[in-house]
Structure 1
Amino acid sequence: MSSKPKARPGGRSARVQASVHAAVRELEAEAGRAALSVPAIAARAGVTPSTVYRRWGDLQELLSDVAVERLRPDEPPRDRGSLRADLTAWAQQFIEEMGSPTGRAYVRDVLLGDPAGDNAGQCSAYSADQIGTMLARAHARGEAVPPLEAVLDLVVAPMMYRILFRPGGLTSDYAEHLVLAALATPEQPTG
């Protein structure tokens, strides 16, 4: 397995990545997970299998990379006027998307093909960035703001645990309960 860092490619490298990612998505949609192999993906993408192996190492690392791209948020979280509303809506959407069979498959792919933890770290950064945006907006509105790490520990971590190990009980009420616990965390002093 490769443990090379995967920097954002440009030029030809970006085109190869895009075509290989598209090939994975297309083959999986057409024939299911069983149809995924490096030779089949390479043929669909118009590259050689050695190109795939050189860049990703093996099929599982490629699937991990594709999953990270699929899990990247398309836009910043919507401003709903208060931190409670923002975080609750975000957590409810997170549970809906990540708790679905497709979402859980992406999470498993990220973890299984990520021996160095780079892709999992990237997914964690996506959540931290989204939550950081909500916290900054709330701070600008003059609201009390819990520390980012507290929100990650009290909202995201329990949801991920349940998504991975105990998917029952992933409800909107559960998401709101976690958010309320995080909002009860004292604001960190600044300066």
Structure 2
Amino acid sequence: MVRPGGRSARVQAAVHTAVRELTAELGRDALTVPLIAQRAGVTPSTVYRRWGDLQELLSDVAVERLRPETAPQDHGALADDLATWAEQFLDEMSSPAGRAYVRDALLGDPDGSNAGQCSAYAAEQIGVILTRATERGERTPDVESVMDQVVAPLMYRLLFRPQGLDTAYALRLVTEALGATGPGGAA
């Protein structure tokens, strides 16, 4: 059992910090487990025991970096909230750093848990937006529908067909997803 705030948490924080610092200083391609361990003040065996290999470590760091830092903005209407969120999501994920984090999160994810965590982050954010809209009396789609109609196409295009991926595309996806809520919806 891992104690929150115990040695395990300190090691994770030190190693994650070392990865971020070394990536900024030397570039991702120069990273090695011994280099990261030295910067973090741990032994390479500690890194290998906890993460298995460099790619799994980079994946873990990427998942942490992809975690949203704040709740989605509240603009007073579902269409505005979801459009703003989709624009920011696309901007973050399509940036060079975002693309690298997505790549790392997926490459070091043998059991799919990191991808699941990244998906959960998006679903949580969408859930907040939809809950606010419901509380305002707006008709809303469910979280899974928005994931399928907005997030999934954005991620597919980001990974496999990035040309032409822009804000207009993201906004079109949001409009189409909200149009499916029917009469009285936010569309």
Aligned equivalents of 2:143 and 2:160: distance in 1?
A: 24
Say if 2:122 is the partner of 1:122. Answer: no
Q: 1:173: which partner in 2?
A: 168
Q: Which amino acid aligns with 1:98?
A: M
How much identity, in percent, do the aligned residues show? Answer: 70
1:170 is displaced (CA, Å) by: 2.0
1:9 is displaced (CA, Å) by: 4.9
Q: Given the alignment, which residue of 44, 50, 53 partners 1:49?
A: 44
Q: Which amino acid aligns with 1:119?
A: N
Moved more, 159-168 or 126-135: 159-168
Aligned equivalents of 1:91 and 1:161: distance in 2?
A: 14
Cα distance, 1:57–1:129 mapped onto 2, change above 3 Å: same
Aligned equivalents of 2:170 and 2:16: distance in 1?
A: 32
Q: Is the 8 A contact 1:76 1:133 kept in 2?
A: yes
Q: 2:78: which partner in 1?
A: 83
Q: 2:157: which partner in 1?
A: 162
Aligned equivalents of 2:167 and 2:107: distance in 1?
A: 28
Aligned to 1:81, what secondary structure does the other structure show?
A: coil
Aligned equivalents of 1:8 and 1:31: distance in 2?
A: 33
Aligned to 1:153, what secondary structure does the other structure show?
A: helix
Q: Is the 8 A contact 1:150 1:185 kept in 2?
A: no
Q: Aligned runs of 1:61-140 on 2, under 5 Å? A: 61-140=56-135
Aligned to 2:139, what secondary structure does the other structure show?
A: coil
Aligned equivalents of 1:134 and 1:98: distance in 2?
A: 19
Structure-2-length-normalised TM-score? 0.94
- 4+ residue segments displaced more than 2 Å: 7-10
Q: Which amino acid aligns with 1:33?
A: R
Aligned equivalents of 2:3 and 2:31: distance in 1?
A: 24
Cα distance, 1:8–1:120 mapped onto 2, change above 3 Å: farther
Structure-1-length-normalised TM-score? 0.92
Say if 2:176 is the partner of 1:185. Answer: no
Aligned equivalents of 1:91 and 1:85: distance in 2?
A: 10
Question: Deviations for 1:25-66, whole angstroms, at most 9, x for unmatched residues?
Answer: 111110111220000000000000000000000000000000
- Uncovered stretches (5+) of structure 1, i.e. residues with no partner: 1-6
Question: Deviations for 1:81-125, whole angstroms, at most 9, x for unmatched residues?
Answer: 101000000000111110112111110101000000111100000
Q: Aligned runs of 1:10-49 on 2, under 5 Å? A: 10-49=5-44
